[in-house]
Structure 1
């Protein structure tokens, strides 16, 4: 009987969020087991808020101490989602009956149990984590549960968070994260201002644009905020929140989330909030690979022309077409 499972996923926020479907499968299939995760420090509070996780171990960088903690917790299985040689060295001597790693990198052959985690063309990269967990469940003759339409139900807290962000009667809260996590390019300040002003004028709804930010992105958000206010567009700066988990929960207030940064977009996807993503124009189709976890009819994406010289230049996106598309997207979901 499996009583305790360790999952290794110690990387960026967006990558961790895209592992939630896999965690959902694992916890739903093994409701009595303790599902525990090894994560990066930046992800700690979000991992603690995840309804599919029972215990969180943070990557302190002290491999010897971490390995000792793994050993003390006496796991029945470990699923290595983010496979590194460092991780192999940390767990190789541990008395864990079942160790599963993905089939990539030369050291995969040190693991007795390996699984194909290469998602197919046309699938989101979140499928890779699910493939690992599905292999694990099948190997233990455990039924693979179906996926839900929403991975994080915070609907009971939606009115409180809408009040926090100052929503007035009849308004739609449009969250906008103008920064980028590095996976894509970024719209210029001037382009963002023009885009949001145009969306506001074309939408049938009263919009309140909430500009979210993190760290150095505050300056960019302030510039966009000032530009929109000059144009008479209703925009506010998001009130700061101390923890990533609080920000993640607060996104339930949004009626739409617009960003080029995949991390915040993916968090919005957990709530099944309609998302509008701006992705790099690459042949690898990032708008498909990095698609959010919202239902397909609630996703909209824009890219500049594909190419080395054009793919990261977001200002090459047809602004008029994008603003019309976003306004129509908003009107469709909230038809009067």
Structure 2
């Protein structure tokens, strides 16, 4: 009988979010087991808020203490969703009956159980962790649960967070996050503000733009705010909340989330919020690989022309065309609802 399972996912915010479908499968398949994760310190509170996680161990860099913490939990299985040689060294002396790693790098052969995580064409990177969990469940003859349409149902908190962001009347809260997660070039504040202004003009719905940011991104958000305010467009600066977990919860208020930074974009996807992503133009198709967990009909993605010289130049995106598509997307999602009300 499996009583506890550890999932290794000690990296970036977006990568952790894309593990939620796999964590869902684990928890639904093993409702009485303790599903536990090993994560980066910045993710601690966010991981603790995940409804499919029962215990969190933080990667504080003290390998001896981490190995001791693993040993004290007496795991029946560990799923190495992020595989590094360091991870193997943390686990190698532990008496864990089942250790599963992806077929990546030479140290895959140090594990007794290995599985391919080659994602079928057209599916997002979130499938990788699911493929590992599904292999684990198959090895233990446990049926694989059907995935939900929304991974984090906080609909009961939506009104609270709408009030927090100042939503009034028929306004739709359109969140926009400047900056970039690093894999894409950034959209300039003038281009971003111009895009939002065009969307506001073209859509039939009443928009209120909410600019989210963290750290040095405040300067970018301020420039966008100033440009939109000067045109009389409804816009607010969303002061960062006390924790990543609170920010993640608050996105249940969003009627759309737009960003080139995949971390916050993926968090919005947990709520099945319509997402508009701006990705690098590469042959590896980042807009497919890094697609959000929002349902396919509620996702839009834009890239500059594919190429080494063009792929990271976000100024090459056709923002006029993007504005028309985003406005039509908004109208499809919400205009008919406003007409009825």
Secondary structure of the residue that 2:124 maps to in structure 1? coil
Check the 8 A contact 2:18/2:126 in 1, yes or no. Answer: yes
Task: Give yes or no for contact 1:24–1:52 (8 Å, CA) kept in 2.
Answer: yes
Q: How many Å apart are 1:129 and its aligned residue?
A: 0.3
Which residue does the alignment assign to 2:109? 109
Of stretches 250-259 and 117-126 in structure 1, the one that deviates more from structure 2 is 117-126
Contact between 2:205 and 2:335, CA under 8 Å: does it hold in 1? no
Shift of 1:240: 2.3
- Which residue number in structure 2 is paired with residue 90 of structure 1? 90
- Deviation string 1:285-315 (CA, Å, 9 cap, x unpaired) is 1101100001100000110011111111111
Q: Secondary structure at the match of 1:334?
A: helix
Equivalent residues of 2:13, 2:263 under 8 A apart: yes
Q: Does 1:150 align with 2:167?
A: no
What residue ranges of structure 2 are gaps of 5+ in the alignment?
337-341
Q: Aligned to 1:169, what secondary structure does the other structure show?
A: coil
- Structure 1: how far apart are the matches of 2:6 and 2:220? 39
1:57 equivalent in structure 2: 57
Structure 1, unaligned stretches of length 5 or more?
none
Instruction: Give 1:304-323 correspondences, 5 Å limit.
Output: 304-323=304-323
Instruction: State how far apart, in whole Å, the 1-side matches of 2:257 and 2:294 are.
Output: 11
Match of 1:179, SS? coil
d(CA) in 2 for partners of 1:117, 1:194? 40
Q: Distance in 2 between matches of 1:235 and 1:97?
A: 55
Is contact 1:277-1:301 (8 Å) kept? Answer: yes
TM-score, normalised via structure 1 length: 0.99
Counterpart-to-counterpart distance in 1, 2:240 and 2:280: 29
Note the C-alpha offset of 1:335.
Answer: 2.4
> Distance in 1 between the 2:330 and 2:99 partners?
46
Q: Write the distance in 1 (CA, Å) between the matches of 2:175 and 2:46.
A: 19
| Contact 1:165–1:239 (8 Å) recurs in 2 | no
Q: Offset of 1:80 from its aligned partner?
A: 0.5
* Corresponding residue of 1:12: 12
Asked if residue 118 in structure 1 is aligned to residue 118 in structure 2, the reply is yes
TM-score, normalised to structure 2, is 0.98
CA distance in 2, matches of 1:18, 1:59: 19
Residue matched to 1:138: 138
Cα distance in 1 for partners of 2:14, 2:139 equals 28
Task: Give the distance between the partners of 1:304 and 1:63, measured in 2 at CA.
Answer: 42
Q: How many residues align?
A: 336
RMSD: 0.6
Report the counterpart of residue 264 of structure 1 in structure 2. Answer: 264
8 Å contact from structure 1 (residues 179, 260) kept in 2: yes
Partner of 1:206: 206
Q: Mean alpha-carbon deviation: is it higher for 132-141 or for 232-241?
A: 232-241
Conservation of the 8 A alpha-carbon contact between 2:171 and 2:206: yes
CA deviation after TM superposition for structure 1 residue 239, in Å: 2.7
Partners in 1 of 2:239 and 2:169 — Cα distance?
Answer: 20
- Give the Cα–Cα distance (whole angstroms) in 2 for the partners of residues 244 and 299 of structure 1: 23
User: 1:272-311 counterparts in 2 under 5 A?
Assistant: 272-311=272-311
